[in-house]
Amino acid sequence: MSAAPTTMTGPAPSALAARVERLLAEAPSPGVDGGIPFRAAQFEAGLAWVSFPVGHGGLGLPPGHQLVVDRLLRDAGVEPANLRNPIGYGNVAPVLAAYGTDEQRRRYLRACFTTEDIWCQLMSEPGAGSDVAGIATTARRDGTGWLLRGQKVWTSLAHVARWGLAVVRTDQEKPKHAGLTCFVVDMHAPGVEVRPLRMLNGKADFNEVFLDDVPVADDNRVGEVGGGWQVVRSNLDGERAAFGAEGDEPDPGEDLLAWWARACVDDPVLTDRVMAAVIRSRAARLTAERTQRGAAGGAVHPAIVKLLSSEAKQHTLEVALDAQGVAGTLYAPDGYALEQPVRVGIMQGDPAARYLRVQALTIEGGTSAVLRNVLADAVLGLPREPRFDTGIGWREIPRNAGEYERKVRGR
Amino acid sequence: MSEQTMAEFLDQATRFLDTAAGRAPAATSRPWGEGPDGTELLAEWSSEEEARLVTEARRFKALEYDAGFGWIDGPAVYGGRGLPRSYHDAYARLREQFAVPDLAVMRLGLSMTAPTILAHGTEQVKRAYLPRLHRGDVIACQLFSEPDAGSDLASLRASAVPDGDGWVLRGQKVWTTNAHLSDIGEVLCRTDPRAPKHRGITAFLIDMHAPGVEVRPLRQMTGGASFNEVFLTDVWVPDDHRLGEVNEGWQVAITTLMNERSTTTDIGGSLDVILDRLVMLARWSGRLADPAVRDLVSDTAMHILAARAGSQRAHEAAVTGQPGPEQSVGKLLWTQNLQRVSRVASELLGPRLVADTGEWGTYAWAKFVLAVPGIRISAGTDEIMRNILAERVLGLPREKPSTRNEERT
Amino acid sequence: MHEAGPAEHELLRQSVRDFATNTSPEAEVRRLMATPHGFDREVWSVMASQLGLQGMAIPERYGGAGFGWTELAIVFEEFGRALLCAPYFATVALAVPALLASDDEDRKQRHLPAIASGELVATVAWRANAADEVTARGTSGDGYELHGRRSHVIDGCIAGLLLVPALGPEGPGIFAVEGGAPGLSHETRPTLDETRKQAEIVFDGCPARPLEPAGDGAAMLARVERLAAVALACEQVGGAQHCLDDAVDYARDRMQFGRPIGSFQAVRHRCADMLLDVESARSMAARAVELAPDDPQFGTAAHMAKAYCSEAFVRVAAANIQVHGGIGITWDHSAHLYLKRAKSSQLLFGNPQQHRAALAALVRSAA
């Protein structure tokens, strides 16, 4: 089962590097105007997503080449594109590139990349989390367009988003996977209501989005009617691959080690716990790098990366909090004041804040249980579990009616 | 026999035990380096040692029974003394203070087979075996598992076919402890292959010396052979040796299995001895001054004590009612503690666990470490235990969901 | 030194795997582990003459193939997967690095070609316990004599050359002792893992020669210990991979409750966890191999790899038994052989806690 190392094909990276150098030399400074003019230039130069078609921010190159561009830009001090508009950049743009019409790409990709338009993703629902294909938000025909009705949840950045990529049900009689369709939703349209969803750390990284007969034109449909599941699938893969990736956040393991050295810890029990956590973090990071950078050992399935990374981070951030002793019982500096950050990340705040935030890491982006099932099927080829929701229409599938959520939220 | 007061009873018991066994030296007075250093979880004796153990066990049990202490809470009509359970418990605690021979070979017969016979056997069988089991004249084994029926015991295939006023049994059983020493065996057989699997099983008591019964040792990873395979080839059993009704053997099996879990979790006793040894090992290693080692050892001790407290509660519940799924918690905690002890012993011994340097109390732990995986599998795997806990104790839904038309509880 | 590319590595892996499959099927492992010396001389010769495995990372001028640790890692992984019974670890991961770490041209000329050709089996009599002190006293002329004992010498009974870390008049050194020298006695110890033999060796005035530079033993030994750790980590990855494959194969086939046990989520998740352990252990071992033997970060990587891969292999080997249920604990099934190898290699050459402490010391001294 050992995989062959990845290799890159296509034009030599040095030609690409030259293009990046030219961009850095000729484009407006990245520090000006929130970086928007620089990114516009980057888009025109085809360096936004090098694997996209020419004219839509790309050069038609294999995806691995993006690493060259990103590395050079980062070394030059340019803020990574995925920071301010992570969903737009990482999830939506690839979907539009693969399944969108030319008109949609023309209309949306540029402003997505420059971050003039922030994007959110309208996928999960209270009754459809791990079972995302079970969603109930509907789209019904209304003249030449559609009307969307339902409720989405766990929507990051909905409070600042201009557009949302939504997955909705267009057919309730077909088996669940076959009745889904994707749309681009104008977050400023009538009928869209965004409410913050507060997490255990006091912050509202996420939102609920209520859609009350929101009108959507048919030219904002992405892909075929009933073709929504494919879009969701590719979206999920991208989401998982993003975990464990070298972002701009410090790695919790390296961070803990640095703390340990500075703090001159002489407690051997704590030292052992710290070293064990550091080592576990390192193992997760090295495994992530095998896929992203072709490091020794060969590429692995994204679910492996996500599982190792999320679980190592939880372990490490717990050790980091425990190491604070009684000081860890304080929740400084601003306590649980409600905040809606526009940057998503887990390494913000003090050890207590990070520890709390990271509890969600084994749930968001695919729960650890679901991802283990994915590995069992896709990598290990183990026999599948009996299913009770296939081969029957979506309407027939036993479901909750939402009483539990209503009880919790006091509605 | 008239009921004595507890004080009189214990007085009498003490006098008996003084004569028959003599006081045991206090457990803590055994210094490092003296006596056998084994910490085995599975008994592995040479045949000479084994024969000697069985003889001594039988000798003592006979004395004990004849003195009226062999079956304290059993019905008098079947050879018991007819006293309340509290007397049995009091005697058991008292007996721990005496140098009683190792009675492990009798344990299964006394705690599992005998209660099963009492609950489900014919008058004939009760009278024939209950006194003899408690007197140590008869040793019993359990013939349940098969190579293709482990966790899924109910899918067993050994068959029993009516023949005159009895049955003919045929099949293969596995994981049978002490089959080679046993006189009788409790066996589960399929008597109706067309019924749903749980409803086509019948239980019997067979004579292990009958023609057609063949016992073969099964070697395990510790190197020893605590278990056997038993082949049944056309073994004839009279109908009065049937336990319970025809095709209702699964109920009989449940009775036996519930008692099994309570024997494997005589946790208080065995884990305490092991913990003691572990602490001695830690001292001997000279590393108890190391805070990391202290932390490890005390963490392990804490978990063992927690398990003991739990087992105490479960035992009290069992005494008043029937032993039940609560025992599953005990077994899981037990296996987890065995794993912890393994880890600590490995940590303390390092290379000495890996090769026998001849030093007392070191390589002996290797046998312990190697027995732990087996304990996590036998008498209900850890996974099955978790399922039982989830379903029977926590009331979580079973794996198959109800259909739309069924009531959801 | 030669550099091989991915295609050649694949070829090497396949050749070694085929070799292990042919010469070390389970029946052979069981046969050899029951013998006192634990290996087959014929197979050892063929290993050298046909595949050049003993000399893989020995420089060409000493009769080797001149490759490096990237290639050795492949061999150790495959041998770990097959539990191949041979003094390969002792000779190639202990003795050869000790010789190469020294400046002693004379010793290198004398021993390395014989190792590469398969004629010489060698080992390092490492100090497993604080009590195992060995001192070297000067004798008349240039000679030395060793006094003391070592309790856990890998393949100590069959080694033609023993390299012994000992405290000499110039300071700590590594001393070469010929097998069968006067004053040398050895006794095979029963081991938990019978596929790897250990001896207790007593030195009672045996003649010995220090590896140059004399007195520089600490540095040489540190290097050997780190490379030994990496070699074990690679073996552990191979063994763990075998256990994962074994568990998955069984889970696919074994039926209970009317369906394969691999369709129960508890079992699927246990297998998925084994996969996580295998892949992350592979990452750690690969990283340490990448940095071996001279990178400034190598020490750190070696400690991490040994700590991590040891624990991963033990978990996976135990999980494999658990997936197999009853048959997994029987003598006849191979699962216990891997558990024993996992547990032993976890505890040899520093247990995980010791490696974590060593890591802490390295970080502290660098800060």
Query: What is the pLDDT, as a whole number, of residue A10?
Result: 43
What is the CA A405 to chain-centroid distance, rounded? 24
- Give yes or no: residues A135 and A231 share one domain: yes
pTM: 0.81
Distance from CA of A76 to the nearest CA of B (A): 46
CA distances from C63 to A87, C108, C110, C295 (A): 58, 11, 11, 26
Residue B267 scores a pLDDT above 70: no
Query: What is the pLDDT, as a whole number, of residue A125?
Result: 92
Selection from A92, A56, A124, A115 nearest residue A222 by Cα: A92
- Give yes or no: residues A41 and A79 share one domain: yes
Q: Which residues of B248-274 are buried (b: 16+ CB within 10 A; e: fewer)?
A: bbbbbbebbbbbbbbebbbbeeebeeb
CATH value at residue A312: 1.20.140.10
Residue A411 scores a pLDDT above 60: no
CATH value at residue A35: 1.10.540.10
Confidence of residue B89 (pLDDT cuts 50, 70, 90): confident
Chain C interface disruption, residue of B218, B285, B357, B365, most C CBs within 10 A = B357
Q: Is residue A391 in a domain?
A: no
Mean pLDDT of C175-202: 93
Query: What is the pLDDT, as a whole number, of residue A340?
Result: 77
> Judging by beta carbons within 10 Å of its beta carbon (0-12, 13-18, 19+), is residue C85 exposed, middle or buried?
buried
Contact status, residue B356 vs residue B37, Cβ threshold 8 Å = no
Active site residues of B: 260
Query: Which region, left, alpha or beta, applies to residue A381 given φ > 0 means left and ψ of -120 to 50 means alpha?
Result: left
The enclosing H or E element of A222 equals strand A221-222
Confidence of residue B403 (pLDDT cuts 50, 70, 90): very low
Task: Lowest mean pLDDT of A10-24, A56-70, A198-212, A268-282, name the range.
Answer: A10-24
Domain boundary among A190, A207, A240: A240
Mean pLDDT of A151-173: 95
Given a contact as 3+ CB pairs under 8 Å, which chains touch C? A, B
Task: Lowest mean pLDDT of B359-368, C191-200, C284-293, name the range.
Answer: B359-368
Confidence of residue A244 (pLDDT cuts 50, 70, 90): low
> Judging by beta carbons within 10 Å of its beta carbon (0-12, 13-18, 19+), is residue B397 exposed, middle or buried?
exposed
Query: What is the pLDDT, as a whole number, of residue B265?
Result: 47
Query: What is the pLDDT, as a whole number, of residue C99?
Result: 97
Q: Is residue A402 in a domain?
A: no
Mean pLDDT of C48-74: 96
Residue B29 scores a pLDDT above 50: no
Residue C319 scores a pLDDT above 90: yes
Query: What is the pLDDT, as a whole number, of residue A13?
Result: 67
Mean pLDDT of B15-20: 94
Query: What is the pLDDT, as a whole number, of residue B254?
Result: 87
Confidence of residue B290 (pLDDT cuts 50, 70, 90): confident
Contacts of residue A4 in chain C, CB cutoff 8 Å?
6, 10
> Judging by beta carbons within 10 Å of its beta carbon (0-12, 13-18, 19+), is residue A318 exposed, middle or buried?
middle
Mean pLDDT across chain A: 87
Considering only residues A177 and B270, tell me which one the structure prediction assigns the higher pLDDT: A177
Q: Is residue A37 in a domain?
A: yes
What are the φ and ψ backbone dihedral angles of B250, each rounded to 5 degrees? -65, -35
Percentage with pLDDT > 70 across chain A: 91
Confidence of residue A344 (pLDDT cuts 50, 70, 90): low
Rounded distance between C-alpha atoms, residue C347 and residue B349, angstroms: 8
Pick C241's closest partner by Cβ from A1, A286, A375.
Answer: A1
Which residues, 6+ apart, have CB-to-CB distance to C220 below 8 Å? Answer: C98, C101, C102, C174, C211
- Give yes or no: residues A105 and A135 share one domain: no
- Give yes or no: residues A293 and A318 share one domain: yes
Considering only residues B43 and A255, tell me which one the structure prediction assigns the higher pLDDT: A255
Report the range out of A93-102, A226-235, B42-51, B368-377 with the highest average pLDDT: A93-102
Q: Which amino acid is at B344?
A: V
Residue A293 scores a pLDDT above 50: yes
- Give yes or no: residues A258 and A371 share one domain: yes
Query: What is the pLDDT, as a whole number, of residue A371?
Result: 92
Residue B231 scores a pLDDT above 90: yes
- Give yes or no: residues A236 and A125 share one domain: yes
Q: Is C222 on the interface with B (CB under 8 A)?
A: no
Selection from B143, B234, B131 nearest residue B189 by Cα: B143
Query: What is the pLDDT, as a whole number, of residue A181?
Result: 97
Task: Lowest mean pLDDT of B187-201, B311-325, C133-147, name the range.
Answer: B311-325
Task: Lowest mean pLDDT of A91-95, B368-372, C245-249, name the range.
Answer: B368-372
Mean pLDDT of C8-12: 93
Contact status, residue C24 vs residue C82, Cβ threshold 8 Å = yes
For residue C148, what is the DSSP state? E
Mean pLDDT across chain C: 93
The full length of chain C comes to 367
Mean pLDDT of B188-214: 96
Q: What's the angle, vertex CA C195, arms to CA C189 and CA C196, rounded to 5?
A: 55
Mean pLDDT of B1-16: 84
Confidence of residue A2 (pLDDT cuts 50, 70, 90): very low
SS3 A194: strand
Q: Is residue A337 in a domain?
A: yes
Task: Lowest mean pLDDT of A185-189, A304-308, B48-52, name the range.
Answer: B48-52
- Which positions 228-257 of A are in contact with C (Cβ < 8 Å)? 257
Compute the count of residue pairs across chains A and C with CB atoms less than 8 Å apart.
128
Residue B321 scores a pLDDT above 70: no
What is the CA C167 to chain-centroid distance, rounded? 24
Q: Is C30 on the interface with B (CB under 8 A)?
A: no
Mean pLDDT of A370-391: 91
For residue A224, what is the DSSP state? -
Residue C175 scores a pLDDT above 90: yes
- Give yes or no: residues A308 and A367 share one domain: yes
Rounded distance between C-alpha atoms, residue B159 and residue B174, angstroms: 15
Which residues, 6+ apart, have CB-to-CB distance to A294 below 8 Å? Answer: A5, A6, A7, A8, A64
Selection from C88, C19, C29 nearest residue C232 by Cα: C88
Pick C280's closest partner by Cβ from A308, A379, A384.
Answer: A308
Beta-carbon separation of C10 and A257 below 8 A? no
Residue A7 scores a pLDDT above 60: no
SS3 B272: helix
Distance from CA of B38 to the nearest CA of A (A): 30
Residue B407 scores a pLDDT above 50: no
The total of structural domains in chain A comes to 3
- Give yes or no: residues A108 and A134 share one domain: no
Residue C153 scores a pLDDT above 70: yes
Considering only residues A32 and C84, tell me which one the structure prediction assigns the higher pLDDT: C84
Query: What is the pLDDT, as a whole number, of residue B380?
Result: 79
Mean pLDDT of C6-30: 95
Query: What is the pLDDT, as a whole number, of residue B404?
Result: 37
Confidence of residue C216 (pLDDT cuts 50, 70, 90): confident
Q: Is residue A247 in a domain?
A: no
Q: Is B42 on the interface with C (CB under 8 A)?
A: no
Pick A372's closest partner by Cβ from C272, C304, C307.
Answer: C272
Mean pLDDT of A25-48: 92
Contacts of residue C279 in chain A, CB cutoff 8 Å?
287, 297, 300, 304, 308
Selection from C358, C238, C364, C363 nearest residue C307 by Cα: C358
Chain C interface disruption, residue of A372, A377, A387, most C CBs within 10 A = A372
For residue B390, what is the DSSP state? I
Distance from CA of B148 to the nearest CA of C (A): 8
Mean pLDDT of B158-169: 97
End-to-end Cα spacing for chain B: 51
Full set of structural domains in chain C with CATH = 6-120 (1.10.540.10), 123-214 (2.40.110.10), 218-366 (1.20.140.10)
Q: Is B234 on the interface with A (CB under 8 A)?
A: no
Q: Which domain holds residue A173?
A: 120-240
For the question of residue A239 being annotated catalytic, the response is yes
Report the range out of A245-259, B314-328, C40-54 with the highest average pLDDT: C40-54
Locate the chain A residue with the closest alpha carbon to B408.
A398
- Give yes or no: residues A132 and A229 share one domain: yes
- Give yes or no: residues A217 and A287 share one domain: no
- Give yes or no: residues A233 and A272 share one domain: no
- Give yes or no: residues A370 and A260 share one domain: yes
Confidence of residue A82 (pLDDT cuts 50, 70, 90): confident
CATH value at residue A236: 2.40.110.10
Q: Is residue A396 in a domain?
A: no
Q: Is C353 on the interface with B (CB under 8 A)?
A: yes
Q: What angle separates helix C69-82 from helix C265-291, to the nearest 10 degrees? A: 150
Q: Is B366 on the interface with C (CB under 8 A)?
A: yes
Selection from B72, B95, B106 nearest residue B22 by Cα: B95
Residue B263 scores a pLDDT above 60: no
The per-residue pLDDT for range B98-130, each reduced to its tens digit, is: 999 989 889 889 989 999 999 999 999 999 999
Q: Is residue A383 in a domain?
A: no
Q: Is residue A395 in a domain?
A: no
Q: Is C168 on the interface with A (CB under 8 A)?
A: no
Beta-carbon separation of B221 and C331 below 8 A? yes
Chain A interface disruption, residue of B288, B290, B295, most A CBs within 10 A = B295
Query: What is the pLDDT, as a whole number, of residue B43?
Result: 61
